[in-house]
Chains A and B, each alone.
Chain A
Amino acid sequence: MAVLAGITPVLGYVGALVLLFVVLPVVVILLRGVLLAAKSIPSTIDAIAQVATAGSRDLNAVQLLYTTQPAVNQIIGVVANFGGSLDILMEDA
């Protein structure tokens, strides 16, 4: 019992020192890493916003596809008429 009574204060000192010099730095390092990662996200989001805005502006030409499709239809019709005329004008092989 006398020995145990002599060890207890020493264990208290060791535990306190470990808490101060090990646990506290680890907690600080981990939280600092999370904070740095969180701070890097807004800049990325700003870049995404700029790209999305530019991409949306570029896709304004997609509306032209609505007129391109009928134009292609008309061209195919002209080609068909032209081919039919060639079929009549030219002899077969």
Chain B
Amino acid sequence: MLTLASVAPAAVITIAAVVLIVAAIVVYLLAIIVELKTISNGLDVVIPPVAELVQKTQPVNQLVHQIVADLGAGTNLLEGLLVKKAGLDDAAGLIESLFPGGGQAFLARNGRPGRPRHFGVVYSRGALQLARLGRGSPLGAALRGSPLRDPVAASESSRALYPDPRGVGPTGNSAGAPNRPRTPVIGANSPNQYRRPGDDSVIYDSSTDAGASPRTPGAVEAGSSFRTGGPSRFPYAATGTAPDPSTAPPRAGISAATAAPNRFGGEQRRPAPAPTGPEPTSPAPTPDTPYTPDSEGVIRYRR
């Protein structure tokens, strides 16, 4: 019969050590299994939000690329317009003055190496005004001082720059005047020479007028009313003398309605000088200036 006394002491120690090792392995492995189970449960919680992240970020790449492409098209449009209006060198200088480093990149995109010209003197004022006008923009946000453009009273500020010859404003300027359209530029100096709709007037051509006397090319003709074709209602035009200054309107500018002195120092607004280009073929006669036949000796005007 096998008894403990019959077993060697070394075998007893070995058996005890093996039992302890197995026990330790069992205990720790059970604890590790519990922890792995906890990890698995935690991953079950983590995976849905991560999948949601992937799902939400899936269209971002395509949309951002489309937006970048659209903005790039807009940038190319504005850069092309700037190049067309200001030229490549000036456009690069202007971009450089607004966005340091952008001008050189702009030149590189247009296939021209080098640095843009420095326009700190030429464009600094214009850039400053543009930046101050855009006070709400990041470019103008860092500037100090009041903005040039008042978003509420912008119209009043701009209208104050112009005179009010009609004197309809309460303070003598246009700021408080009722909103009336400004008088268009008409007459011989008008930039737009066109007929009104329904204008059935005819162009008078002396070459087709049987009653017109023969004209000498370049000769100064006596003044006459271009409206009626008859004698001029201005005596000095018929006599060929200068107009009487005593009959001229007062030199000092006053407001016609309020008789208030002109705040612009009585300076009379003079018409812009006539263009120095070739003389038009159909000069519009005025009552105080006699008209002249053209190179063919023909007088043409509208009546």
Q: Which residues of A approach B to under 8 Å, CB–CB?
A: 9, 12-13, 15-17, 19-20, 23-24, 27-28, 31-32, 34-35, 38-39, 41-42, 45-46, 48-49, 52-53, 55-56, 59-60, 62, 65-66, 68-69, 72-73, 75-76, 79-80, 83, 86-87, 90-93
- Assess whether B11 is in contact with A38, with CB atoms less than 8 Å apart: no
B85 to chain A, nearest CB (A): 5
Closest to B22 in A: A27
- Residue from the list A31, A83, A87 in contact with B24, Cβ < 8 A: A31
Q: Return A31 CB to nearest CB of chain B, in Å.
A: 3
Per a CB cutoff under 8 Å, which of A20, A35, A75 touches B74? A75
Residue A41 contacts which of B28, B29, B39, B73 (CB distance < 8 angstroms)?
B39
B66 touching A27, Cβ below 8 Å: no
Say which residue of A17, A24, A42, A53 sits within 8 Å of B21 (CB atoms). Answer: A24
User: For chain B, what secondary structure do more than half of its interface residues adopt (helix, strand, loop), or is it mixed?
Assistant: helix
Q: Do B9 and A13 touch across chains, with their CB atoms under 8 A apart?
A: yes
Residue of B43, B56, B77 near A80 (CB, 8 A) is: B77
B66 close to A16 (CB less than 8 A) = no
Contacting pair A69 B67 (CB below 8 A)? yes
B198 near A: Cβ within 8 Å? no
- Which B1-36 residues sit within 8 Å CB-CB of chain A? 8-14, 16-18, 20-21, 24-25, 28-29, 31-32, 35-36
Tell me, rounded to whole Å, the shortest Cβ–Cβ distance linking B31 to chain A.
Answer: 5
Specify which chain B residues have a CB less than 8 angstroms from the CB of A87 in the assembled complex.
81, 84-85
Residues of chain B lying within 8 A (CB to CB) of residue A34:
28, 32
The answer to whether the Cβ of B86 comes within 8 Å of any Cβ in the partner chain is yes
Cα-based distance from A10 to B13 in the complex (angstroms): 13
Q: Choose one: B18, B39, B85; the contact of A45 (CB below 8 Å).
A: B39
A68 near B25 with CB under 8 A, answer no
- A-B complex: 3 closest residue pairs judged by Cβ atoms: A12-B10, A31-B28, A45-B42
The answer to whether B56 and A56 have CB atoms under 8 Å apart is yes
Q: Mark B46-61, 1 if CB is under 8 A from A, else 0.
A: 1001101100110110
Given A45-B46, A59-B57, A83-B78: A35 and B11 within 8 A (CB)? no
Known: A52-B53, A62-B60, A76-B74. A93 touches B42 (CB 8 A): no
Name which residue of chain A comes closest to B49, CB basis. Answer: A52
For the complex, what is the distance from the CA of A50 to the CA of B146, rounded to whole Å?
48
Give CA–CA (A9, B78) in the complex, Å: 99
B170 within 8 A of A: no
Closest CB in chain A relative to B62 CB, distance in Å: 9
In the complex, whether B185 has a CB less than 8 A from a CB of chain A is: no
